[in-house]
Amino acid sequence: MPTIAPHPRQPPEVTGGVDTHLDTHTAAVIDPIGRVLGTRQFPADPAGYAALLDWMHTFGRLTRVGVEGTGAYGAGLARQLHRKQVEIIEVDRPHRKTRRFQGKSDPIDAIAAAKTALAAERTATPKQRDGRIEALRTLRVARRSAVEQRADTQRQIRALIVTAPDPLREHLRHLKLPALITTCAGWRPDRTDTASPATATRLALRSLARRHQQLTTEITDLDQLLAPLAATISPRLLAVPGVGTDVAGQLLVTAGENHDRLTSEAAFAMLCGVAPIPASSGKTTRHRLNRGGDRQANAALYRVVLTRLRWDDRTRAYVERRTAQGLTKKEIIRCLKRYVARELYQIITTRDPEPAT
């Protein structure tokens, strides 16, 4: 009888887990039933990422890797795994109760990440950070910081005016913000008389006003970069009533470059914190307000609703109908945010393809 050659034995499947830090990443590998095969620490740099991946492959066929912090310390590793076509699973931090019983160390956290990825429990597909959306997010980080600092500067100017000497306070207290900033920035007080409260106040107000002007220029420059970028990514989104560059940018960043990770419009609504949470018990059926999700995306949807409440006839007709049914204004706005999320999800997930370079 002819000899039948045996089939080559397939390498065993293994699952990896990584606990990420600024300078080092600690990796762990487990088998399909959760037994730990090994743990090891690697430097957090491109050479370390390659060594980490090679080390995991020595244990068998790597099916997936659970990474804690793909949007922070693990961003570089996530990009490397994506390029190598390794499935990446974003894992949450362990429950406090579980961590309290098991203890805390980098190998323990790496093993927990691997087991969470293997069980597919409390996991998500991480965002890809190597496309136009990542560029948009980076510019928005700088803009948001400038906006917050400018608002803080305005509050400091107003606070100084309240405690300023009477003649100076009476001169400034009724000025509108543009005139106030221009007036204070143009002062040239005597710098040799800083012991005088009036002179010191003028110097402080001039410094704050010029800082306000500089931040305004910075915000304007960033807006000029963000507007065409957002329009290139999703022109249809910017054409929706109530959606401007800031709102579009936030929702695009929330959805991510790989928007296909959002399995449905309900998942997008949950991500934005506009999907009501079931709170039923026994014969009582009710839902409660969702305070989770991306709060910046939630605020963006809120701004869309406020704009439509003022300018959109269909939205105002809906408000009248729901008010007649006994709903409060807050409840109506919550419903509208849910509807807007459903509408925008269809546009966000059908973005125009990235142009070839």
- For residue range 241-276, list pLDDT tens digits in order: 999 999 999 999 999 988 888 889 999 999 999 988
CA distances from 183 to 15, 29, 36, 208, 219 (A): 64, 65, 68, 12, 21
Q: What is the pLDDT of residue 325?
A: 92
Q: Are 234 and 133 in contact (CB under 8 A)?
A: no
pLDDT tens-digit map of 280-305: 777 777 777 788 889 999 999 999 99
Half-sphere exposure of 129 (CA within 13 A, CB side): 18
Q: Are 140 and 226 in contact (CB under 8 A)?
A: yes
pLDDT value at 1 more than 60? no
| Rg, the chain, Cα only | 27
Place of tokens 């700088």: 142
Question: pTM of the prediction?
Answer: 0.82
Q: What is the pLDDT of residue 193?
A: 79
Q: What is the pLDDT of residue 277?
A: 79
10 Å Cβ neighbour count for 247?
23
CA 314 to chain centre: 31
Helices 197-233 and 245-255, packing angle to 10 deg: 60
Q: What is the pLDDT of residue 289?
A: 77
Q: Are 333 and 273 in contact (CB under 8 A)?
A: no
Q: What token pair was written down for 289?
A: 């307000």
Element (H, E) at 300: helix 295-311
pLDDT exceeding 70 applies to what percent of the chain?
92
Q: Are 203 and 189 in contact (CB under 8 A)?
A: yes
Region for residue 196 given its phi and psi (left: phi exceeds 0; alpha: psi -120 to 50; beta: otherwise): beta
pLDDT value at 356 more than 60? no
Dihedral sign for Cα 248, 253, 254, 256, please: positive
- Helices assigned H by DSSP within 234-289: 235-238, 245-255, 265-271
Q: Are 140 and 250 in contact (CB under 8 A)?
A: yes
Q: What is the pLDDT of residue 183?
A: 94
Q: Are 335 and 323 in contact (CB under 8 A)?
A: no
Summarize the confidence of residues 111-116 as an average pLDDT. 92
Mean pLDDT of the chain, nearest integer = 89
Task: Give the best-scoring range by mean pLDDT among 64-78, 85-99, 301-315.
Answer: 301-315
10 Å Cβ neighbour count for 100?
10
Q: What is the pLDDT of residue 2?
A: 58
Q: How confident is the model at residue 9 (pLDDT cuts 50, 70, 90)?
A: low
pLDDT value at 322 more than 90? yes
Q: How confident is the model at residue 357 (pLDDT cuts 50, 70, 90)?
A: low
Summarize the confidence of residues 321-337 as an average pLDDT. 92
Backbone angles phi, psi at 131, to 5 degrees: -140, -160
Helices 295-311 and 245-255, packing angle to 10 deg: 140
Q: Are 81 and 75 in contact (CB under 8 A)?
A: no
CA 61 to chain centre: 33
